Chains A and B, each alone.
With several copies, the nearest count.
Chain A
Amino acid sequence: LSEYAPPPNPNSDHLVAANPFDDNYNTVSY
């Protein structure tokens, strides 16, 4: 994979593809 690939282990076991502009979107917990 290239240097532009995402980190192999995202910092959370459960990823939610939520709209980051939604009010209840909490970037910190991501």
Chain B
Amino acid sequence: MYAKGGKGSAVPSDGQAREKLALYVYEYLLHVGAQKSAQTFLSEIRWEKNITLGEPPGFLHSWWCVFWDLYCAAPDRRETCDHAGEAKAFQDH
């Protein structure tokens, strides 16, 4: 993946990326069943906006599972890591 700017070279989308990540982490915590942690998180980051949740398991979990599956299916890892056939096909493609 291209190397992101070094420390402090804030990429324009970073602020929005941080906000989205906080939102999807909150959604993830709720969908795994860690309700207390989810509420504590919102108060610790002083989140004031109201939140509409996506369908379980939520975007972060779905995105991560695809990402991890592709990571495991990479040619130099697939011998030692479980992965789905689709991920191997995607990598080989």
A interface vs B, CB < 8 Å? Answer: 1-2, 4-20, 27-28, 30
How many chain B residues touch A (CB < 8 A): the figure is 36
Contact (Cβ within 8 A) A2 B59: no
Contact (Cβ within 8 A) A19 B59: yes
Write out, one digit per residue, whether chain B residues 37-58 have a CB within 8 A of any chain A CB (1) or not (0). 0000000111101111110111
Q: A11 to B26, alpha carbons, bound, how many Å?
A: 17
Contact (Cβ within 8 A) B26 A17: yes
Residue of B nearest to A19 (CB): B59
Instruction: Return A25 CB to nearest CB of chain B, in Å.
Output: 10
Instruction: Return A22 CB to nearest CB of chain B, in Å.
Output: 9
Q: For A19, what are the chain B residues with a Cβ–Cβ distance below 8 Å?
A: 54, 59, 62
